[in-house]
């Protein structure tokens, strides 16, 4: 590693720490319904929305109604996206004359974009028309992120309120997060990206006559507007097949740095918003610190693995599946951030990473996408772990578990366990199924333990709603399209519904004033306990699976054994 | 039922806002301030598109600098990498094959250390760049193939220097040379 590499990483961390209170404070004002500087600019849009849908923004509902609204809205998004894909050829804005998409691939993609996963079994430039990319995929990029924010807002209200069953208005939360947070940031970011060379047009694909004398078709399209929200909303679905490794999707090292930065931007800032809204900024910073420690640990292991020499390729700098303008350090940084944050965009091919660096990606996703995590989703996933931590800590010292004045009862712990088990169940059962079936194995690009890692990665990515891949696996088959689709649904709604139930149950409770006997959740001891619970509950579950994949591959590689 | 109608309406609202107005707005602004970039940074000469500054091309002629290996042979439909893992036999075989080829093609000493980007395929398959060192290793072969004299060789070296980009703003990314732009420039050396 060079000084510049280290500098970029430190700058990244410093900027995330610096921007967290700024954006976090702004979001607090937005979501609390207070005055903020974007109100005069975009306030009319919010009012227009309420007028159009005929909803009173201040009328709140209980958690069940909130959940039904959320599910209904997501279902409509799914149906619309599914339909425009299977009828793509009859729709406008299709200069490359792309054909209708198979029903199972359309199902997979519609689920994938609705659940903020953005797993892609298809190659964008040869599959999706501008119409589908723009009116289908870009919209889901926004609203799936907004859905994540809505859920964490409901959780925050559940914690900070007392003796009520109201946890907010889903439509208001959806509107405010899209209009005041996601949209302005996307506008700003996409213009910067075009300035770096990203394409943004509706032209037909251009044909270049190369110096060698052959034709090269250059895909075009409204890429920048989609890429901006793809990164900001931790979506990750590429406009082009190579995702953020494609020169049109990530033209320069600076565009790359910004893309990495904005993945963490909103999830990190939400910890501050959380602190503000539950009445203790310190609580927010504690969560932030736990996330930052886990991020730095993963990054260090990954950097070490990618810079180590090994028995297969010797001490060559490891450039398979990496771009020259990014080099090793920026590829590793991107991979750790994108898997921490359930983004899933990639600027290098994770399949070609060394086994341990690939394993860091898998573990980041297995822990439940809570290291900053998806927009909103990371933080509500973290709240699940916090509930488990106070419960376990309560058992150890023999006190009633309590978090921010709320007594944690059997119901909350049950729901937290369901949320936790839903994803582990989906990952392990489906991986096992694929690994012993001929249709599961036929998609493999690599033999030996790395082939198993490809399958494990796919289902982990789907369950964590990440969307990145060991892309050698050919997943555009009936089996993978359907099974991964189901896993994405479990990973999304199998967590959202229990979490909303927790929010509803907490809102009904009274707030007990803190006393000397209260177990503190805003100090280093708690941060340590939280990390411990995350690693044990989240991590140990998967140790056997990991040892069959990346761990054994690492050991074999160091003995020069290849397949 | 009420929820269904609200859902439909708000979905329509967001589809118009974020799916139509937002991309159109960004396209309008981009075409206004960065028209060349928004349209793909195309290189046009004699009304013909030669390529894009950002998208690499395949070069197999001895008079040109060669690009990195590509898993898609620089055909952008679709882009992608090899996705070979480190323990994949094919990767090791391909790498040693490429090493031999690069050494033979550029008539280098067999012990020469080859920059690794020339042995490994890129992520996009369209990587437009190679390292400065990889460019320098190809100079002698090109000078010989083009029958350049010392003065012309000096010019060639100046071209390499001109197209060597340092890390952006001195702190982002890696030093790199754009192969297509470099090859277009050396065609101009008289």
pLDDT tens digits, one per residue of A195-222: 999 999 999 999 999 999 999 999 999 9
- What SS3 class is residue A174? helix
Separation of CA A233 from chain center: 8
Residues B72 and B32 in one domain: no
Mean pLDDT on B153-160: 96
Transcribe A239-266 into DSSP letters. SSTTGGGSTTTS-SHHHHHHHHHHHHHH
Let me know if residue A140 belongs to a domain: yes
Does the residue A286 lie in any domain? no
Q: Which two tokens stand for residue B157?
A: 């070296």
Residue of B nearest to A253 (CA): B173
My answer on whether B23 and B92 are in the same domain is: no
For residue A101, give the DSSP letter. Answer: P
- Same structural domain, B75 and B28: no
Q: Do B40 and A200 lie within an 8 Å CB cutoff?
A: no
Q: Which of A200, A223, A473 to mutate to test the interface with B (most CBs of B within 10 A)?
A: A200
d(CA B156, CA B150) in angstroms, rounded, equals 10
- What mean pLDDT is predicted for residues B59-72? 96
Q: Do A491 and A463 touch, CB atoms closer than 8 A? A: yes
> Confidence class of residue A311 from pLDDT cuts 50, 70 and 90?
confident
pLDDT at res. A314: 84
pLDDT, one tens digit per residue, over A360-417 is 999 999 999 999 999 999 999 999 999 999 999 999 888 889 999 999 999 999 999 9
Residue A128: inside a domain: yes
Residue A39 falls inside a structural domain: yes
Reading the block at residue B55, the tokens are: 């998208």
Report the 10 Å Cβ neighbour count for A318. Answer: 24
Q: How far apart are CA A237 and CA A116, in angstroms?
A: 9
Quick one: B28 and B59 in the same domain? no
- End-to-end CA gap in chain A: 30
- Distance between CA atoms of B126 and B181, rounded to whole angstroms? 14
Domain of residue A226, residue span:
23-205+218-278
Please tell me whether residues B30 and B102 are part of one structural domain.
no
Residue B188 to residue A349: CA distance in whole angstroms: 37
pLDDT above 90 for A79: yes
End-to-end Cα spacing for chain B: 77
A517 pLDDT more than 90: no
Chain B nearest C-alpha distance from A443 (Å) = 13
**Dihedral sign of CA atoms A338, A342, A346, A350 in order:** positive
Burial class (CB in 10 A: 0-12, 13-18, 19+), A518: middle
- Residue A358 covered by a domain: no
Do residues B96 and B103 lie in contact, with contact meaning Cβ atoms separated by under 8 Å?
Answer: no
CB-CB under 8 Å, A346 with B50: no
Is the CB of residue A331 less than 8 Å from the CB of residue A322? yes
For a pLDDT cut of 70, what percent of chain A falls above it?
100
Say how far apart CA A487 and CA A504 lie, in whole Å: 26
Are B138 and B168 part of one and the same domain? yes
> Do B51 and A211 count as a contact with CB atoms less than 8 A apart?
yes
Cα–Cα dist A233/A262, whole Å: 9
Q: Which of B72, B123, B128, B167 to mutate to test the interface with A (most CBs of A within 10 A)?
A: B123
Q: Say yes or no: B128 and B149 in one domain.
A: yes
Q: Do B82 and A352 touch (CB under 8 A)?
A: yes
Q: Is residue A115 part of a domain?
A: yes
Domain total for chain A?
Answer: 1
pLDDT for A421 beyond 80: yes
* B160 and B71 both lie in a single domain: yes
Confidence at residue A187, expressed as pLDDT on a 0 to 100 scale = 98
Write down the pLDDT at residue B115. Answer: 95
What pLDDT, on a 0 to 100 scale, did the predictor assign at position A518? 83
Name, in order, each residue with C-beta under 8 angstroms of A223's C-beta and a sequence gap of 6 or more: A198, A199, A200, A239, A240, A248, A249
- Of A220, A219, A72, A70, the closest CA to residue A152 belongs to A70
Q: How far apart are CA A480 and CA A466, in angstroms?
A: 16
- Would A157 be classed as within a structural domain? yes
Q: What is the pLDDT of residue B190?
A: 84
pLDDT at A515: 81
b/e map of B77-103 (b: 16 or more CB within 10 Å)?
Answer: bbbbbbbbbbbbeebbebbeebbeebb
**For A25-47, what is each residue's pLDDT tens digit?**
999 999 999 999 999 999 999 99
- With CA atoms as reference, report the closest residue to A286 among A162, A116, A446, A404: A404
- Domain carrying residue B21: 1-39
Q: Are both B147 and B170 inside the same structural domain?
A: yes
Could B14 and A142 be called an inter-chain contact, meaning their C-beta atoms sit closer than 8 Å? yes
CB B137 within 8 A of CB B112: yes
B-chain residues near A312 (CB < 8 A): 86-87, 91-92
Across A413-494, where does the E strand assignment appear? none
Question: What is the Cα–Cα distance from A24 to A156, expressed in whole angstroms?
Answer: 14
Q: What is the 3 state secondary structure string of chain B? A: CHHHHHHHHHHHHHHHHHHHHHHHHHHHHHHHHCHHHHCCCEEEECCEEEEECCCCCCCCCCCCCCCCCCCCCCCCCCCCCCCCCCCCHHHHHHHHHHHHHHHHHCCCCCCCCCCHHHCCCCCCCCCCEECHHHHHCCHHHHHHHCCCCHHHHHHHHHHHHHHEECCECCCECCCEEEHHHHHHHHCCCC
Average pLDDT, chain A: 95
**Alpha carbon of residue A111 to chain centroid:** 14
Q: Does A415 touch chain B (CB under 8 A)?
A: no
Q: Cα angle at A145 between B22 and A122, to 5 degrees?
A: 80
**Residue labelled with tokens 């209200």:** A157
Euclidean distance between CA atoms A76 and A494, whole angstroms: 19
SS3 A4: helix
Please tell me if residue B185 touches chain A, with a CB cutoff of 8 Å: no
- Put simply, the answer to whether A320 touches B120 (Cβ < 8 Å) is yes
What's the domain count of chain B? 2
Give pLDDT, residue A553: 97
| Residue A90 CB neighbour total at 10 angstroms | 9
Same domain, B33 and B53: no
Is residue B16 located within the same domain as residue B95? Answer: no
Residue A306: pLDDT band (50, 70, 90) is very high
Q: Is residue A156 part of a domain?
A: yes
Q: How far is CA B95 from the centre of its chain?
A: 20
**What residues of chain A, 492 to 531, have a C-beta less than 8 Å from chain B?**
none
**What are the pLDDT digits (tens) for B108-143?**
999 999 999 999 999 999 999 999 999 999 999 999
B63, B144: one domain: yes
Question: Confidence class of residue A310 from pLDDT cuts 50, 70 and 90?
Answer: confident
Q: Which of A353, A324, A371, A304 is nearest to A534 (CA)?
A: A371
Q: Is the pLDDT of residue A538 over 80?
A: no
Is the confidence at residue A183, as pLDDT, over 90?
yes
Report the residue of A323, A348, A455 to disrupt the B interface, i.e. the one with the largest count of B CBs within 10 Å: A323
């Amino acid at each position: 590693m060079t000084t510049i590499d280290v500098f970029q990483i430190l700058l990244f961390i410093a900027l995330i720490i610096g921007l967290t209170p700024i954006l976090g404070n702004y979001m607090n004002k937005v979501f609390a319904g207070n005055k903020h500087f974007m109100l005069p600019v975009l306030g009319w849009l919010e009012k227009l929305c309420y007028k159009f849908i005929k909803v009173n923004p201040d009328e709140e509902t209980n958690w069940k109604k909130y959940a039904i609204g959320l599910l209904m809205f997501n279902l409509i998004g799914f149906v619309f996206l599914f339909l425009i894909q299977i009828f793509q050829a009859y729709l406008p804005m299709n200069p490359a004359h792309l054909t209708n998409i198979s029903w199972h691939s359309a199902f997979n993609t519609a689920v994938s974009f609705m659940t903020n996963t953005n797993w892609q079994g298809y190659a964008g430039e040869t599959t999706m028309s501008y119409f589908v990319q723009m009116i289908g995929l870009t919209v889901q990029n926004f609203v799936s992120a907004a859905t994540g924010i809505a859920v964490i807002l409901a959780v925050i209200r559940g914690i900070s309120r007392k003796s009520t069953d109201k946890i907010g208005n889903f439509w208001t939360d959806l509107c405010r997060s899209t209009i005041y947070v996601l949209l302005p940031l996307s506008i700003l970011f996409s213009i910067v990206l075009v300035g770096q060379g990203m394409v943004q047009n509706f032209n037909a694909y251009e044909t270049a006559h190369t110096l060698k004398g052959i034709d090269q078709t250059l895909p075009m399209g409204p890429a920048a507007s989609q890429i901006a929200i793809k990164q900001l909303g931790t979506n990750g679905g590429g406009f082009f097949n190579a995702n953020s490794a494609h020169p049109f999707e990530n033209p320069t090292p600076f565009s790359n740095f910004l893309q990495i930065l904005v993945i963490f931007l909103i999830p990190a800032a939400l910890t501050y918003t959380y602190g503000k809204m539950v009445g203790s900024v310190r609580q927010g910073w504690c969560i932030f610190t736990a996330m930052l420690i886990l991020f730095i640990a993963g990054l260090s292991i990954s950097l070490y693995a990618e810079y180590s020499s090994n028995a297969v390729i010797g001490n060559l700098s490891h450039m398979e599946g990496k771009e020259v303008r990014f080099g090793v350090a920026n590829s590793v940084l991107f991979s750790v951030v994108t898997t921490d944050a359930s983004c899933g965009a990639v600027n290098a091919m994770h399949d070609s990473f060394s086994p341990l660096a690939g394993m860091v990606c898998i573990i980041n996703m297995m822990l439940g996408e809570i290291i900053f995590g998806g927009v909103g989703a990371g933080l509500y996933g973290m709240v699940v772990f916090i509930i488990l931590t106070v419960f376990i800590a309560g058992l150890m010292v023999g006190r009633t578990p309590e978090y921010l004045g709320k007594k944690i009862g059997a119901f909350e712990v049950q729901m937290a366990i369901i949320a936790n088990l839903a994803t582990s169940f989906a990952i392990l059962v489906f991986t096992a199924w694929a690994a012993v079936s001929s249709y599961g194995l036929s998609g493999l690009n690599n033999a030996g333990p790395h082939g198993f890692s490809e399958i494990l990665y796919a289902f982990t990515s789907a369950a964590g709603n990440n969307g990145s891949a060991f892309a050698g696996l050919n997943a555009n088959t009936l089996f993978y399209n359907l099974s991964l689709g189901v896993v994405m649904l479990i990973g999304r709604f199998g967590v959202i519904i229990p979490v909303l139930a927790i929010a509803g149950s907490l809102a009904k409770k009274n707030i007990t004033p803190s006393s000397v006997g209260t177990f503190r959740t805003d100090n280093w001891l708690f941060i340590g306990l939280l990390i411990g619970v995350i690693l044990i509950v989240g991590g140990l579950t998967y140790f056997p699976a990991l040892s069959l994949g990346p761990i054994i591959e690492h050991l074999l590689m160091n003995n020069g054994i290849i397949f | 039922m009420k929820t269904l109608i609200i859902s439909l309406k708000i979905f329509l609202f967001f589809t118009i806002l974020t799916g139509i107005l937002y991309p159109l707005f960004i396209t309008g602004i981009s075409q206004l301030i960065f028209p060349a970039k928004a349209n793909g940074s195309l290189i046009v000469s004699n009304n013909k598109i030669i390529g894009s500054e950002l998208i690499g091309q395949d070069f197999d002629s001895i008079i040109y600098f060669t690009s990195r290996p590509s898993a898609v042979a620089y055909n952008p439909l679709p882009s992608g990498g090899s996705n070979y893992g480190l323990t994949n036999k094919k990767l090791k075989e391909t790498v040693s094959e490429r090493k031999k080829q690069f050494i033979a093609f550029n008539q280098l000493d067999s012990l020469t250390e080859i920059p690794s980007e020339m042995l490994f395929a890129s992520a996009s398959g369209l990587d437009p760049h190679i390292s400065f060192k990889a460019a320098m290793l190809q100079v002698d072969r090109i000078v010989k193939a083009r029958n350049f004299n010392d003065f012309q060789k000096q010019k060639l070296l100046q071209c390499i220097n001109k197209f060597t980009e340092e890390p952006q703003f001195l702190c982002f990314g890696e030093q790199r040379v754009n192969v297509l732009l470099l090859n277009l420039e050396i065609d101009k050396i008289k």
